Amino acid sequence: MWWRSPSFILDRQQQQQQNDSVPPNPESLFLSSSPPSMADSLQNPKSNISAYYQTRAAHHAVVTSDWLAQAQAAVGRLPDDDDSSGSERKAAPTGGGGGGVRGGKVFSVINEFNNWRKQPDLAEAVAAIRALAAVIRASEATTMMELEIELKKASDSLKSWDTTSISLTAGCDLFMRYVTRTSALEYEDFNSARSRLIERAEKFGEISCKARRIIAMLSQDFIFDGCTILVHGFSRVVLEVLKTAAQNKKLFRVFCTEGRPDRTGLRLSNELAKLDVPVKLLIDSAVAYSMDEVDMVIVGADGVVESGGIINMMGTYQIALVAHRMNKPVYVTAESYKFARLYPLDQKDMAPALRPIDFGVPIPSKVEVETSARDYTPPQYLTLLFTDLGVLTPSVVSDELIQLYL
Amino acid sequence: MDPRRTARTVSDPKVRQVGFFTPPPDHAISDPPRHHDPIQSPSQSSPPVNDRSPSDSSLSPVMIPPPRHHSDALLRTALQATSPTKPFSPSTRTVMIPPENKDLRSPGRKVVYGKSPSSFSGVKASSVPASELTTVSVVNLALGISVEGKILTAEEAGGASVEVQNDRRASSKPLKEKTSKAERRALQEAQRAAKAAAKAEGSKASSSASKVVTSENTKPIKATKPSSQKNDGSQVAASDKKGGDRAPEKDRKKDAPHPRMQYDDTSRVEKAKKRAVVKQTEARNRVELFRHLPQYEHGTQLPDLETKFFELDPMHPALYKVGLQYLSGDIYGGNARCIAMLQAFKEAIKDYSTPPEKTLIRDLTARISSYVSFLIECRPLSISMGNAIKFLKSRIAKLPLALSESEAKTTLMLDIDRFINEKIILADKVIVEHAVTKISDGDVLLTYGASSAVEMILLHAHELGKEFRVVVVDSHPKLEGQLLLRRLVRKGLSCTYTHVNAVSYIMHEVTRVFLGASSVLSNGTVYSRVGTACVAMVAHAFRVPVLVCCEAYKFHERVQLDSICSNELGNPDAISKVHGREEINYLDGLVNCENLQLLNLIYDATPSDYVSMVITDYGMVPPTSVPVIVREYRREHLWS
């Protein structure tokens, strides 16, 4: 089972480390060769691995021991002093940004965020917003302006902590947008405004779940009896869509890609098999081969960018290309908090998100490995986006973003 | 989903929340309405995919919205009142100044031309020296009235213009529905023949008249016009005349200037010419498809105009200067032209004083209109200038009546300054900030022509220490790229210079294409220097991203599918002659040849398919989002 998988154990160990702020941690010796310190708890994505994809892998992947070994190696590669100084550098601004000292304990927005995002059902953006809510709670600001500045610092440090996570960035931006547009003037006093913000942040998790349900409802019109759906990777929204369709007694079958390297497709097929949906597993390279039988492609998204394209797990682009060529519709399911003010022009025009890949056999050091975890699918290959704002064409995304951020 | 609807007006989250809403617990909090969305009511609960507010329906991105100025209604009534067969006395040549000048973008009229009323209001029978010309023009006028409706409709049916326009004449022209296309065509022919005959009866040379009869494809008649008909400041005099005859006034209204006059309609052109300040000589052989655009011999009229500098009373010297600079090509480039025009307007407003028994709002609007029509004579307006004029006029119209003259003038001058600063200068800075994020080390950037925004981007990226190379692509006849190249090389950028002929060769190594634009239209079409479309298409074929840099004030809600129906013709001599190389001037002596047509287009339209991104002061948006920006911010610019 996936939660017994090594990666989960690894993550839990990290989590434990983060939870107790006592620096010396005996377990970390097992983890890596680096000296145990706060450094590990604030271990950041600069260690060549995208924290976002690591979390995702931990949440729903079947991971092999090789993956763990590579992850460890990646952690171990960090030069010691560089790492610790880096974490101290980071700790200082967050201490300032995250609010004052409470009960002698330094509050860190990143730790808070990490705690939240360990919950498998919690979306990254929700975790980010909860972390920011914690900042508000810990804050000793007395005016809206002060609070805003503190929040800005906290969200900046969160964003720079993991530049690869689009929903983290988008969640922070969204919340900041909300804060800046809520002025204390509209409330009687600062405290009520503040409690309003916290309340909003608390409810955001609910909103995110609700968004998934809305998307599932909207997508039902598109799933017809007897259709074959190709899905790629593991997406909570896609699962929700398929689950709802199954509950509605629709007859359909699903092709799951394997979703290398973290094999997220396997997990999705497990879940679908539990629902008694006919599932067929494909290796990632069999997409074009089976596209003839497919009626539609449904994928999730890590982020929806301003052009209306999506950034998603590696392989989405080629599936969309094949589907476009064969005139199959490509539907994207994404909650609206994944809309990000990004505009990649091509594949390389994004902050790289890397993750280790397990090839099963040792790879000679001379051989280069493409470790990017995601790709960008341009809008012309997408048919529709199912979002909680409704069913949108790709060009409407920018419309929504303009209205939201300008 | 409903909360999303309400969220737009409920101010608590003044955000229109994307996925981020909980219904506010207490609706007691009052909602300051968002300024640009006043019509939205909180009770609205249409499905989320639905369109926004009802107020937007008039601004549908695929339609040209109805013009929004007040004179519109007047015009309509005037049209309705004018019966096609209304008897018309040739002696009633006196002219009244219409109470309102037509706005620049006059509504739904394609086949209308002429100067602004105030600029031709001085045309009186007495002021026309040659009596035979008076008769000609009168006949013209009378016929013009009776015929106009049918000409218009026939033109429309014939697809003379591709544009979608609101046909405001429909109600007043019942004939339109009844007649078939062929019938209307026949009718039009007959009327033209009649008119030509009438002309021939006058003292006009019969040869020119017969040309009109033969077909409308003949070359436009080069009219010899009385030169004394200029804008001689007779506004007051004209308005003193008896106001008994309504017909001429209505007629004048119809003749109000249109920025996109159809120059292949000879009768209209004739009328327009009579009122022109600038005496342009029309080029002889024009290419068939572009006959609706004005084309003039360049350089002939400049000395003449310069001598008139001190004679033209009503024209403000600052505007006169700017006009001449447009004419001679000293000021070029969308931003430069727009800023120069606004500065001139500022000067004019500074020196303006309201004539007795007039209101500033109306008189100044009329004055501005006459200035604008003068500028149009010098060079057709760019879309950006049209937007700026629209802004200024809306500011004038919105002036509180209680304001004293000096206060009003100060307000307007401040508004103009604000427009220049915010919409042009600051906007460019923001565009630069956005665009440099798309330049990374090792890039090879290609640009075409000379765009001020692109130049600033390149220089800024260089200042930031980015390592990149620039390919400047240029083309005849203007060779503007050399100017850009000169400035870039001087700043130490490494550049490659080539002509557009080699663009398919050089595109291999290019990683980004940066282009400027004269305007971006609602369907994402980029209206820019001729050759831009070619570069963009080649880049698209090579899968190189094309980034268009354009300030949002240049956006326009018009839709254009080709570069034919709206364009500008440059001097044909510019492409037939190569300066400094006499040995390759093969066309010497052939320029006046009947079967040689020279086409020097200034602009072209790039379809949005070839544009990856539009960089504007509101951020980087896909070309499909241009109507969103137009919709969301047009009101803020112009009508707030």
The one-letter amino acid code at A40 reads D
The yes-or-no verdict on residue A392 having pLDDT over 80 is: yes
pLDDT digits (tens, 9 = 90+) for B108-127: 444 334 333 443 433 343 44
Q: What pLDDT does B372 receive?
A: 92
> Do A389 and B14 make contact, defined as CB atoms within 8 angstroms?
no
pLDDT digits (tens, 9 = 90+) for A250-289: 999 999 999 888 888 999 999 999 999 999 999 999 999 9
Domain boundary among B378, B398, B423: B423
Q: What pLDDT does B316 receive?
A: 84
CB-closest option in A182, A335, A346 to B545: A346
User: Is residue B408 domain-shared with residue B382, that is, in the same domain?
Assistant: yes
Of B555 and B229, the structure prediction assigns the larger pLDDT to B555
* CATH, residue B401: 1.20.120.420
Of A105 and A112, the structure prediction assigns the larger pLDDT to A112
Is B459 a domain residue? yes
Instruction: Specify the number of domains making up chain B.
Output: 2
pLDDT digits (tens, 9 = 90+) for B54-73: 443 333 333 334 444 444 44
Q: What pLDDT does A129 receive?
A: 82
Work out the percent of chain B whose per-residue pLDDT is above 90. 30
CA distance B10 to B34: 9
Query: pTM score > 0.90 for this model?
Result: no
Of B608 and B280, the structure prediction assigns the larger pLDDT to B608
User: Is residue B519 domain-shared with residue B412, that is, in the same domain?
Assistant: no
Phi, psi of A257 (to 5 degrees): -80, 160
User: Is residue B482 domain-shared with residue B533, that is, in the same domain?
Assistant: yes
Q: Once rounded to an integer, what is the mean pLDDT over residues A98-122?
A: 62
Min Cα distance A336 → chain B (Å) is 5
User: Is residue B319 domain-shared with residue B461, that is, in the same domain?
Assistant: no
Q: What pLDDT does B474 receive?
A: 93
Is B265 a domain residue? no
Of A173 and B621, the structure prediction assigns the larger pLDDT to B621
User: Is residue B525 domain-shared with residue B613, that is, in the same domain?
Assistant: yes
The yes-or-no verdict on residue B458 having pLDDT over 80 is: yes
pLDDT digits (tens, 9 = 90+) for A320-335: 999 999 999 999 999 8
User: Is residue B418 domain-shared with residue B447, that is, in the same domain?
Assistant: no
CA distance B632 to A383: 26
Which chain B residue's Cα is nearest to A174?
B20
Task: Report the residue count for chain B.
Answer: 640
Q: Which residues pair with A384 in a beta bridge?
A: A331
> Do B11 and A186 make contact, defined as CB atoms within 8 angstroms?
yes
Comparing C-alpha atoms, which of B47, B16, B25 is closest to residue A203?
Answer: B25
Q: Once rounded to an integer, what is the mean pLDDT over residues A372-395?
A: 93
Which of A179-183, A381-385, B20-24, B573-577 has the least mean pLDDT?
B20-24
Q: Once rounded to an integer, what is the mean pLDDT over residues A308-312?
A: 93
Q: Once rounded to an integer, what is the mean pLDDT over residues A365-377?
A: 90
pLDDT digits (tens, 9 = 90+) for B267-298: 777 777 666 666 666 655 667 778 788 776 65
User: Is residue B390 domain-shared with residue B506, that is, in the same domain?
Assistant: no
> Do B512 and A181 make contact, defined as CB atoms within 8 angstroms?
no
CATH level 3 topology of A109-211: Four Helix Bundle (Hemerythrin (Met), subunit A) (1.20.120)
pLDDT digits (tens, 9 = 90+) for B553-579: 999 988 999 888 888 888 887 888 777
Q: What pLDDT does B585 receive?
A: 75
The yes-or-no verdict on residue B43 having pLDDT over 80 is: no
Q: Which residues pair with A386 in a beta bridge?
A: A333, A391
Tell me the average pLDDT of chain A. Answer: 76
Q: What pLDDT does A357 receive?
A: 84
> Do B19 and A387 make contact, defined as CB atoms within 8 angstroms?
yes
Min Cα distance A220 → chain B (Å) is 16
Size of interface A-B (CB pairs under 8 A): 108
A207 interaction partners in chain B (CB closer than 8 Å): 19-22
Q: Which residues pair with B548 in a beta bridge?
A: B515, B614
User: Is residue B606 domain-shared with residue B489, that is, in the same domain?
Assistant: yes
> Do B622 and A392 make contact, defined as CB atoms within 8 angstroms?
no
- Name the residue range of residue B327's domain: 313-423
Q: What pLDDT does A186 receive?
A: 62
CB-closest option in A187, A343, A403 to B620: A343
Q: Once rounded to an integer, what is the mean pLDDT over residues B537-546?
A: 95
Which chain A residue's Cα is nearest to B434?
A343
A182 interaction partners in chain B (CB closer than 8 Å): 12-14
Kindly indicate whether the domain formed by A215-357+370-405 is annotated with CATH number 3.20.20.70.
no
User: Is residue B627 domain-shared with residue B492, that is, in the same domain?
Assistant: yes
CA distance A116 to A128: 8
A400 interaction partners in chain B (CB closer than 8 Å): 18
CB-closest option in A175, A177, A395 to B625: A395
Q: Where in chain A is the domain with CATH 3.40.50.10470?
A: 215-357+370-405
Work out the percent of chain B whose per-residue pLDDT is above 70. 52
> Do B15 and A404 make contact, defined as CB atoms within 8 angstroms?
yes
CB-closest option in A211, A306, A389 to B621: A306
* CATH, residue B479: 3.40.50.10470
User: Is residue B403 domain-shared with residue B445, that is, in the same domain?
Assistant: no
Domain boundary among B375, B396, B423: B423
Confidence of residue B454 (pLDDT cuts 50, 70, 90): very high
Q: What pLDDT does B76 receive?
A: 46
Confidence of residue B209 (pLDDT cuts 50, 70, 90): very low
> Do B13 and A404 make contact, defined as CB atoms within 8 angstroms?
no
Q: Where in chain A is the domain with CATH 1.20.120.420?
A: 109-211
pLDDT digits (tens, 9 = 90+) for B473-483: 999 888 889 99
Q: What pLDDT does B637 receive?
A: 57
Work out the percent of chain A whose per-residue pLDDT is above 70. 71
pLDDT digits (tens, 9 = 90+) for A113-167: 777 777 766 777 888 888 888 888 888 777 777 888 888 888 888 888 877 788 8
User: Is residue B479 domain-shared with residue B606, that is, in the same domain?
Assistant: yes
Confidence of residue B312 (pLDDT cuts 50, 70, 90): low
Comparing C-alpha atoms, which of A52, A179, A185, A206 is closest to residue A121?
Answer: A206
Which of A340-354, B84-98, B597-611, B622-636 has the least mean pLDDT?
B84-98
Is B328 a domain residue? yes
Q: What pLDDT does B282 receive?
A: 61
Work out the percent of chain A whose per-residue pLDDT is above 90. 33
Best-predicted range by mean pLDDT (A49-58, B83-92, B281-290, B489-498): B489-498
Confidence of residue B425 (pLDDT cuts 50, 70, 90): very high
Which chain A residue's Cα is nearest to B21?
A207
Written as one string, the DSSP assignment of B156-214 is HHTTS-------TTGGG-THHHHS-HHHHHHHHHHHHHHHHHHHHHTTS-HHHHHHHHH
> Do B21 and A174 make contact, defined as CB atoms within 8 angstroms?
no
B47 interaction partners in chain A (CB closer than 8 Å): 390
Comparing C-alpha atoms, which of A74, A88, A1, A66 is closest to residue A32?
Answer: A74
The yes-or-no verdict on residue A101 having pLDDT over 80 is: no
Phi, psi of A28 (to 5 degrees): -65, -20
pLDDT digits (tens, 9 = 90+) for B337-351: 999 999 999 999 998
Of A295 and A180, the structure prediction assigns the larger pLDDT to A295
Which chain B residue's Cα is nearest to A347?
B545
Q: What pLDDT does A176 receive?
A: 82
| Mutation to test the A interface, candidates B20, B34, B437, B544, most A Cβ within 10 Å | B20
Of B428 and B236, the structure prediction assigns the larger pLDDT to B428
B51 interaction partners in chain A (CB closer than 8 Å): none
pLDDT digits (tens, 9 = 90+) for B113-167: 433 344 343 334 344 444 344 333 334 444 444 444 444 444 444 444 434 344 4
> Do B15 and A392 make contact, defined as CB atoms within 8 angstroms?
no
Radius of gyration of chain B measured on its C-alpha atoms: 26
Q: What pLDDT does A107 receive?
A: 64
Q: What pLDDT does A292 receive?
A: 94
Are B119 and B97 contacting, i.e. CB atoms less than 8 angstroms apart? no
Q: Once rounded to an integer, what is the mean pLDDT over residues A36-45?
A: 43
Q: How far is CA B82 from the centre of its chain?
A: 28
> Do B19 and A337 make contact, defined as CB atoms within 8 angstroms?
yes
Confidence of residue B303 (pLDDT cuts 50, 70, 90): low
Is B165 a domain residue? no
CB-closest option in B14, B547, B621 to A402: B621
User: Is residue B562 domain-shared with residue B416, that is, in the same domain?
Assistant: no
Helix (H, G, I), strand (E, B) or coil at B474: strand
Name the H helices within B54-172: 71-81, 117-120, 131-157
Host H or E run for residue B466: none
Q: Once rounded to an integer, what is the mean pLDDT over residues B569-591?
A: 77
> Do A404 and B619 make contact, defined as CB atoms within 8 angstroms?
no
